[in-house]
Amino acid sequence: MNLMDRIRAVGGTGGSGRPAAGEASTDCRHFAVYREAEEFPGAWDLTAETLRLMSDREIPEELDPRKILYLDTETTGLGGSGTVAFLVGMGYLTDTGFEVHQFLMRDYPEEPFLLKHVAAGLGKFDVLCTFNGTTFDVPLLESRFLMNRMDRNCLEMPHLDLLHMCRRLWKLRLGRCNLGRLEEVILGKPRVDDLPGSEVPQRYFTYLKTKRMELLDDILRHNAQDIASLCVLLNHMADLYLHPEKIRFSEDVYSMGRALEKINHTEYARRCYRLARPGRMGASAGAALAMSYRRSGEREAAAEIWREMVRERKGGAEPYVELAKYEEHVRRNIPEALEWTEKALMLLSEPSLREGESVQETKNELQYRRQRLLRKLKER
Amino acid sequence: MNVSQLAEQLRRDHMFMKDVTRWEVLPARSARTAPFPAWLDPRLKPALEKRGIHELYIHQAQSLEATARGEDVTVVTPTASGKTMCYNLPVLSAILKNEDARALYLFPTKALSADQVSELYDMIEEMGVDIKTYTYDGDTPAAARKAVRQAGHIVVTNPDMLHSGILPHHTKWVKLFENLQYIVIDEIHTYRGVFGSNLANVLRRLLRLCEFYGSHPRFILCSATIANPAELAETLIGRPVTLVDENGAPMGEKHFVFYNPPVVNRQLGIRQGCIPVTRTISGMLLKNGIQAITFARSRLTVEVLTKYLKDLVRDPLGNAGKVRGYRGGYLPGERREIERGLRAGQVDAVVSTNALELGIDIGALDACVLCGYPGTIASAWQQAGRAGRRQGTSIVFFIASSAAIDQYIVNHPDYLLQKSPENALLNPDNLYILLSHFKCAAFELPFAKGDCFGNAPGTEELLTYLSEENILHEADGKYHWSAEDFPASEISLRSAASENFIIIDITDPARHRVVGEMDRFTAPMLLHENAIYMHEGRQYQVEKLDFDACKAYIRSVDVGYYTDADLNISLSLLDVEREEPFAGTAAAALGEIKVTALVTMFKKIRFDTHETLGFGHVRLPETDMHTTAMWWTLPDALAERMAGDRLKNGMMGIANLLRIVCPLYLMCAPQDVAVVYQVRSPITDKPTVIIYDNTPGGIGLAQKAFSMRDLLLEKALQVAEDCGCEHGCPSCTGPAGEIGEDGKRTAVRLLKELLK
């Protein structure tokens, strides 16, 4: 048996003949898509200040919204050095609308040309905006630059990853935050006839064999739509950050408060917590607000929130516990502290409350506190 | 009583000595040393001196010099001879001189890497320098991985992680690949067979990437004593190596006692079991306060012996804790504790599987008991090497079981004591293995027309095939990966066939758990429905075998029997590669065959008595395997002279003898080769004895058997002639009940004819 037959015997067969080699290329294929300005409400008014509310990335002082590059790649797989970005789409605002430029390699030899366009494109902008780009698109492009022995520095720029920003805002309410779901639920524009992302690699491989360009139409459309959505989504979020009172869901506005607090926008965060207090997340928002005051040393303001929560019967035993601490350590009013402690214990002894390990732990702590307070009372 | 006194006493004990087949005394050996080489970074010397090291043993010095000359080195080192110096010193020296330098350490197991890394840490701490040593394996937390990739000077990993975690993501490891100076591979003797063939291909991939990144790393390899360390190393790394095998470490006097338990039933040739004998001898050592390790072959035996020895010293003071068991399946923390206990002398006796055979540091002990032959000479010496301090006397007992191999060894002690005839074999060009790694390589970096893959043959054909299959896409003379798969996830380095069956325990309906894996060629034998599957001494029954999904579902049971499946094997010839006539019209040949296996039924066999309790049917599809084989055809004249069953019985006897001899001389596990005989073979149309490689594609065992074919027949004849039995027994040709009254005589006659 010759070697070829032996390889076929161990490997199994099932393929067809291979396609003829194409002519040598001098560039990759370029597509341009234009979108009308009204699709992107508010996009030209986006400022660095607003972006700084949304992300702790370093944003240039005088940001021109036209200097944000929206980028998305279509790839042959899920990662590893054998995965290639065969299509890279880059979109940006112009004076009059939104342009998407897509660079497609019609075959592997065109990859260096594609990467050259990407590098050139990136070089003209100040901020990069992607969806899951920190873990996927950027490392993948880095890998491709490296494999083609090209400079990777062009990728080093401030990067807004919308996936993470959206998760911070909507995960509590939506759970999974993929782009399709966000378009449907947040932007109210469900996609129709869209190619599922999982079918993209196989579609490209079929194209490679047949070189039938129309096979890629769906992918090109899908990619352009993704990029336009990035811009719409970013500006929609910016609008919400500036006007949290517009947010209809208590979960979302509470989540925004958490996101703002994480990057030290305390005042903005408190505003969100206050807005969230009447809703379903009222208890969490109240607690977060009070804790925020406590952290900045505004103990009385914190206590006032806890008292309000007691009046509203929100937050279970926590406000009582916190008030007990406040009376004991800040106001040094031992009888008052004892009263809050005993109220908390009473509340926790109600059978309606779910009994868990943490409840038991709280009870133990309260008992311990109660003993201490009684001792202090005696010592006086 | 110390070891010398005990040895003296035993030698005067006639009851003991009558079953000793050999008492060998290996003389003490003094240290041979050489000074530190001049090029060694000056910061290393004080650190070494603080650890009490003032000069090097000659093998360390020779290895360092060869490394300094830029050669790839293989150091053959017995246990406790300071082999880590051979690689740590050049590596540390290189990094001290150039902080960008990088090194990659490969160990076959995680436990071993943990041990060697702690020694490295100590050295680095002693010097107070900033050399970062990181372990990168499945346990490395995701958050720490980035630091390892960026900053690790020395990256310690295992072949599996290199294969699936590092190479396919090489662009994240730029620093390592661009600056890689040394690749250290320890315990290379463990890389034989399928595992070794896989590693050789992983290294081809690694070197290919190094070339892309412009680095030219050198290899430092360490091996235990085997016959062909240089050949093994050269096959693994695909280039010539400098062999350093002159051991300069000192060693005290060592007694090696071969003990064959007495025959208790002459008729059936049954001997006293080796477990009770081991219990007595290990117990004697324990009672005399001699620190000893006992090696047993199975995990079950380890547990049984541990219990026996614990019972012996059990008292209210908790002295049973001085006896410990040690095997795979113990938690890492527990293992470390036992290792520490051994070094500190708090543990007096340890009973272990071969898990403690590898270079884990437990210090040197006074005595070692081998309960049964571990399967290879290399293992036997590794295990025996656990006993033996640099000064003072040590003793090793080999207790033979009634297995044929054990009986051969105990009756031919020279086989073990003389220079090892074993070869570690691997075949990087096994097509199954090569093809799988070639795919990974193509994924990692596109091949260009005319590129090589190490020294692998057939690169062009492989590229053509993968293009035909649309796995690669050719454009402008380059072959690009064009499939969605992640090829590294399709291969497990420790077996050849890619699709393994997973074994799922469904005893607890709420918590199904995967307990093991099995390759697809063995699965029909051991995992057919209603088979009793044994795992960690526990019995399970196979409830369902989903052949298409490669899953077996098992449930815990407690029954008094085990099962044995009847495997119908049929062979067909694919190709004859070489044919050598000899002894008249007889011939020996080497070629490729197709082995078709079909399991149709199984027997239920009662434990202890081994009587058959019943039968069951198995309905499973056939499995095919392409592999290499060698065979002898008997001369026509000889065959014609033997009527009826005589020829068949004689050939069965030869096959049984070869089953004993082959694993010994091919240095493989018994299940790695198959020996079959066919009175009228479909391969040759003549009476034929066939040895084939039991791994898909073959790992070179058939080629090796072909090249040593006369030796194999000679050794088979020797086993038959040296055996004391008259009409055959399980230790030679098989018992008369199987091969007939005349079987042994016929087998001997046939062998003599063939060897004429």
The residue among B568, B571, B692, B680 whose CA lies nearest residue B633 is B680
**Chain A positions in Cβ-Cβ contact with residue B626 (cut-off 8 Å):** 6, 9-10
Are residues A362 and A349 located together in one domain of the fold?
yes
In this prediction, residue A15 has a pLDDT band, given cuts at 50, 70 and 90, of very low
Nearest by CB to B435, which of A11, A78, A79?
A: A11
The CATH number covering residue B272 comes to 3.40.50.300
- CB contact under 8 Å between A18 and B468, yes or no, is yes
Q: Evaluate if residue B513 carries a pLDDT over 50.
A: yes
Q: Is B608 contained in some domain?
A: no
Are residues A143 and A82 located together in one domain of the fold?
yes
Chain B residue with the nearest C-alpha to that of A82 = B443
Cβ proximity of A70 and A231 under 8 Å = yes
Domain with A268 in it: 247-314
Are residues A366 and A355 located together in one domain of the fold?
yes
Instruction: Give the residue from B198, B221, B244 where a domain finishes.
Output: B244
B444 at interface of A, judged by CB pairs closer than 8 A: yes
Chain A residue with the nearest C-alpha to that of B697 = A10
DSSP letters spanning B271-285: EPPHHHHHHHHHHHH
∠ CA A274-A278-A279, rounded to 5°: 110
Are residues B120 and B20 located together in one domain of the fold?
no
Mean pLDDT of A343-365: 77
**Chain A positions in Cβ-Cβ contact with residue B574 (cut-off 8 Å):** 1
Q: What is the pLDDT of residue B682?
A: 85
The alpha carbon dihedral of B144, B149, B151, B155 has a sign of positive
Are residues B531 and B584 located together in one domain of the fold?
no
Q: Is B151 contained in some domain?
A: yes
Q: Is B382 contained in some domain?
A: yes
Q: Is A350 contained in some domain?
A: yes
Q: What is the pLDDT of residue B535?
A: 59
For testing contact with chain A, the best of B449, B460, B482, B573 (most A CBs within 10 A): B482
- CB contact under 8 Å between A8 and B474, yes or no, is no
Q: What is the mean pLDDT of chain B?
A: 86
Choice between B405 and A311, residue whose per-residue pLDDT is larger: A311
pLDDT in tens, B550-603: 889 999 888 878 788 888 888 988 888 888 887 666 789 999 898 888 888 998
Phi, psi for A101 (deg, rounded to 5): -115, 125
B462 at interface of A, judged by CB pairs closer than 8 A: yes
- CB contact under 8 Å between B468 and A13, yes or no, is yes
Q: What is the pLDDT of residue B584?
A: 63
Q: Evaluate if residue B108 carries a pLDDT over 80.
A: yes
B96 at interface of A, judged by CB pairs closer than 8 A: no
Q: Evaluate if residue B104 carries a pLDDT over 90.
A: yes
Q: Rounded CA gap, A154 and A156, in Å?
A: 5
pLDDT in tens, A27-38: 999 999 999 999
Are residues B631 and B751 located together in one domain of the fold?
yes
Q: Rounded CA gap, A131 and A188, in Å?
A: 18
pLDDT in tens, B330-351: 666 777 788 888 888 889 999 9
- CB contact under 8 Å between B443 and A109, yes or no, is no
- CB contact under 8 Å between B475 and A81, yes or no, is no
**Chain A positions in Cβ-Cβ contact with residue B174 (cut-off 8 Å):** 146
Chain B residue with the nearest C-alpha to that of A76 = B484
The residue among B163, B162, B113, B169 whose CA lies nearest residue B146 is B169
B297 at interface of A, judged by CB pairs closer than 8 A: no
Token digits of residue B676: 């079959």
Q: Evaluate if residue A272 carries a pLDDT over 60.
A: yes
Are residues B314 and B361 located together in one domain of the fold?
yes
Phi, psi for B576 (deg, rounded to 5): -100, 125
- H-helix or E-strand spanning residue A157: none
Phi, psi for B376 (deg, rounded to 5): -140, 155
Q: Where are the alpha helices (DSSP H) in B548-643?
A: 636-641
Q: What is the pLDDT of residue B84?
A: 87
In this prediction, residue B538 has a pLDDT band, given cuts at 50, 70 and 90, of low
Q: Is B267 contained in some domain?
A: yes
The CATH number covering residue A43 comes to 3.30.420.10
Q: Which of residues 561-590 of B touch A (CB under 8 A)?
A: 574-575
Q: Is A109 contained in some domain?
A: yes
B395 CB-near residues (< 8 Å, 6+ apart): B3, B6, B7, B254, B255, B256, B257, B366, B367, B368, B387
What is the 8-class DSSP label of residue A353?
S
Are residues A111 and A259 located together in one domain of the fold?
no
**Chain B positions in Cβ-Cβ contact with residue A6 (cut-off 8 Å):** 431, 592, 626
Report helix, strand or coil for A295.
helix
Q: Which of residues 22-61 of A touch B (CB under 8 A)?
A: 22, 24
Are residues B258 and B236 located together in one domain of the fold?
no
Q: What is the pLDDT of residue A194?
A: 85
Q: Rounded CA gap, A249 and A235, in Å?
A: 19
Q: Rounded CA gap, B320 and B349, in Å?
A: 10
Q: What is the mean pLDDT of chain A?
A: 90
Number of domains in chain B: 5
Q: What percent of chain B stands above pLDDT 70? A: 92
Token digits of residue B292: 């000893």
Instruction: Give the residue from A314, A331, A365 where a domain finishes.
Output: A314
**Chain B positions in Cβ-Cβ contact with residue A81 (cut-off 8 Å):** 168-171, 443-445
Are residues A275 and A171 located together in one domain of the fold?
no
Q: Evaluate if residue B536 carries a pLDDT over 60.
A: no
Where are the extended beta strands (E) located within B388-485? 394-399, 447-448, 472-475, 478-481
- CB contact under 8 Å between A76 and B470, yes or no, is no
Q: Rounded CA gap, B319 and B300, in Å?
A: 23
B470 at interface of A, judged by CB pairs closer than 8 A: yes
Cβ proximity of A295 and A209 under 8 Å = no
Residue written as tokens 């100076």? Answer: B181
Are residues A113 and A72 located together in one domain of the fold?
yes
Are residues A124 and A34 located together in one domain of the fold?
yes
Mean pLDDT of A252-281: 94
Are residues B101 and B158 located together in one domain of the fold?
yes
Comparing A70-84, B324-338, B502-516, B689-703, which segment has the lowest mean pLDDT?
A: B324-338
Q: Is B585 contained in some domain?
A: yes
Are residues B46 and B15 located together in one domain of the fold?
no
pLDDT in tens, B361-391: 777 789 999 999 887 777 888 888 888 877 7
Q: Is A264 contained in some domain?
A: yes
What distance in Å separates residue B75's CA from the closest CA in chain A?
Answer: 35
Are residues B179 and B290 located together in one domain of the fold?
no
DSSP letters spanning B213-270: HT---EEEEEE-S-S-HHHHHHHHHSS--EEE------B--EEEEEE-PPEEETTTTE
The residue among B330, B444, B665, B460 whose CA lies nearest residue B452 is B460
Q: Is B156 contained in some domain?
A: yes
Q: What is the pLDDT of residue A19?
A: 40
Instruction: Give the residue from B363, B392, B417 where a domain finishes.
Output: B417
Q: Is A1 contained in some domain?
A: no
Instruction: Give the residue from B244, B264, B280 where a domain finishes.
Output: B244
- H-helix or E-strand spanning residue B454: none
Are residues A61 and A186 located together in one domain of the fold?
yes
Are residues B451 and B543 located together in one domain of the fold?
no
Are residues B257 and B302 located together in one domain of the fold?
yes
Q: Evaluate if residue B107 carries a pLDDT over 70.
A: yes
Mean pLDDT of B441-461: 94
Q: Is A362 contained in some domain?
A: yes
Q: Where are the alpha helices (DSSP H) in B36-109?
A: 44-50, 58-68, 84-97
Q: What is the pLDDT of residue A10?
A: 66
Half-sphere exposure of A151 (CA within 13 A, CB side): 9
Asked if the interface predicted TM-score (ipTM) of this complex is over 0.95, the answer is no
Mean pLDDT of B673-695: 89
Nearest by CB to A10, which of B474, B484, B697?
A: B697
Q: Evaluate if residue B207 carries a pLDDT over 60.
A: yes
Kindly give the interhelix angle for A266-276 and A282-295, rounded to the nearest 10 degrees.
150
Comparing A232-246, A284-298, B529-543, which segment has the lowest mean pLDDT?
A: B529-543
What distance in Å separates residue B475's CA from the closest CA in chain A?
Answer: 6
Q: What is the pLDDT of residue B499?
A: 60
Q: Evaluate if residue A161 carries a pLDDT over 50.
A: yes
Choice between B17 and B741, residue whose per-residue pLDDT is larger: B17
Are residues B235 and B368 located together in one domain of the fold?
no
Residue written as tokens 């966000």? Answer: A182
Q: Rounded CA gap, B436 and B458, in Å?
A: 14
pLDDT in tens, A290-321: 999 999 999 999 999 999 999 988 888 899 99
Mean pLDDT of A70-78: 95
Nearest by CB to B470, which of A3, A15, A107?
A: A15
pLDDT in tens, A98-144: 999 999 999 999 999 999 999 999 999 999 999 999 999 999 999 99
Q: Is A8 contained in some domain?
A: no
Here the contacts of B706-715 (C-beta below 8 Å, separation 24 or greater) are B706/B578, B706/B588, B706/B590, B706/B630, B708/B665, B709/B588, B709/B630, B709/B632, B710/B755, B711/B665, B712/B658, B712/B661, B712/B662, B712/B665, B713/B632, B713/B751, B713/B754, B713/B755, B714/B755, B715/B661, B715/B664, B715/B665
The 10 Å Cβ neighbour count of residue A99 is 15
Instruction: Give the residue from A217, A242, A267 where a domain finishes.
Output: A242
What letter represents residue B653's amino acid?
G
**Chain B positions in Cβ-Cβ contact with residue A1 (cut-off 8 Å):** 574-575, 592
Pairing verdict, β A29-36 and A127-130: unpaired
pLDDT in tens, B115-148: 777 778 888 998 999 999 998 987 788 888 888 9
B697 at interface of A, judged by CB pairs closer than 8 A: yes
Q: Evaluate if residue A158 carries a pLDDT over 70.
A: yes
The residue among A64, A58, A9, A279 whose CA lies nearest residue A156 is A58
Are residues A182 and A54 located together in one domain of the fold?
yes
Q: How far is CA A118 from CA A72, A74, A103, A310, B148, in A?
A: 11, 13, 8, 58, 30
Q: What is the pLDDT of residue B225?
A: 76
pLDDT in tens, B265-293: 665 556 788 888 999 999 999 999 999 99
Mean pLDDT of B457-477: 93
Are residues A90 and A197 located together in one domain of the fold?
yes
Number of domains in chain A: 3
Q: Which of residues 103-132 of A touch B (CB under 8 A)?
A: 107-109
Domain with B442 in it: 431-479
Are residues A151 and A195 located together in one domain of the fold?
yes
**Chain B positions in Cβ-Cβ contact with residue A11 (cut-off 8 Å):** 435, 465, 469
Q: Evaluate if residue A16 carries a pLDDT over 50.
A: no
A14 at interface of B, judged by CB pairs closer than 8 A: yes
Instruction: Give the residue from A242, A267, A292 where a domain finishes.
Output: A242
A146 at interface of B, judged by CB pairs closer than 8 A: yes
Are residues B107 and B193 located together in one domain of the fold?
yes
Q: Is B407 contained in some domain?
A: yes
Are residues A88 and A189 located together in one domain of the fold?
yes
In this prediction, residue B213 has a pLDDT band, given cuts at 50, 70 and 90, of very high
Q: Is B422 contained in some domain?
A: no
Chain B residue with the nearest C-alpha to that of A139 = B172
A7 at interface of B, judged by CB pairs closer than 8 A: yes
**Chain A positions in Cβ-Cβ contact with residue B469 (cut-off 8 Å):** 11, 13-15
pLDDT in tens, B316-334: 887 888 899 887 656 667 7
pLDDT in tens, A278-295: 888 999 999 999 999 999
Q: Is A327 contained in some domain?
A: yes
Q: How far is CA B231 from CA A197, A230, B242, B672, in A?
A: 50, 59, 11, 20
Q: What is the pLDDT of residue B306?
A: 87
